[in-house]
Amino acid sequence: MTDIPARRRAPGMSAEQRRAMIVAAALPLVAEHGAAVTTSRIARAAGIGEGTIFRVFADKDELLDACVAEAVNPDHVLRELASIPLDEPLPARLTEAAEALRAHLARMGAVVGTLHASGHRRDRAREEPAPGSREASVRAITEAVTELIEPDRAALRLPPGKVAAVFLGMLFTQLRDEPADADPTPAELVDVLLHGSYDEPRRAT
């Protein structure tokens, strides 16, 4: 890892930037190992000394809590949704949105699920109060998807906001007890949303 010395000596890095860098390095390890991951392993992944972790985090539990907070943070997926070109056809826009949202849910589920399974319980006393944060996250995602649908308002039977709500309801429903191949692909989900489930020649009248 030739960039380790450069990272150790990174000039002008604030405590908040260092925290973010450590969390970014820790996330894939936490998703794989849960609470069993060691701070020394996280430090190696971040290219820093282990002591640096404890200059910005009080202990390992605070670092794990920060990983959960980052995993559930919708900012990254909101940026991805905002980057989808509005001049693409609606099915392409929604397929890209479904892929981005599924990746977000998968990362969130991996981090939270692995930590929970390995015995870590998030210390809510450490967290800054964020009343309604889950609702705010869902609202922001719904608004972002609505914006993707808005250019096709005139062609839709329902307002874009309702189409977005149906889309997200379909996407967030997980068939946990079914084999993975039972879930529709993003493209299949979008096709059913926009065109229904009937095969066109057999459509009921």
Residue-level pLDDT, tens digit, the chain, 205 residues: 344 444 444 456 898 999 999 999 999 999 999 999 999 999 999 999 999 999 999 999 999 999 999 999 999 999 999 999 999 999 999 999 999 999 999 999 999 999 988 877 655 444 444 546 788 999 999 999 999 999 999 999 999 999 999 999 999 875 454 555 677 899 999 999 999 888 765 554 4
For 71-77, the CB contacts below 8 A with 24+ separation are: 71/27, 71/107, 71/108, 71/110, 71/111, 71/112, 72/108, 72/112, 72/137, 74/104, 74/137, 74/140, 74/141, 76/104, 77/101, 77/103, 77/104, 77/141
The boundaries of the domain holding residue 88 are 4-202
Global pTM reads 0.78
Structural domain total, the chain: 1
Q: What is the CATH number of the domain that holds 178?
A: 1.10.357.10
Q: How far apart are CA 171 and CA 102, in angstroms?
A: 8
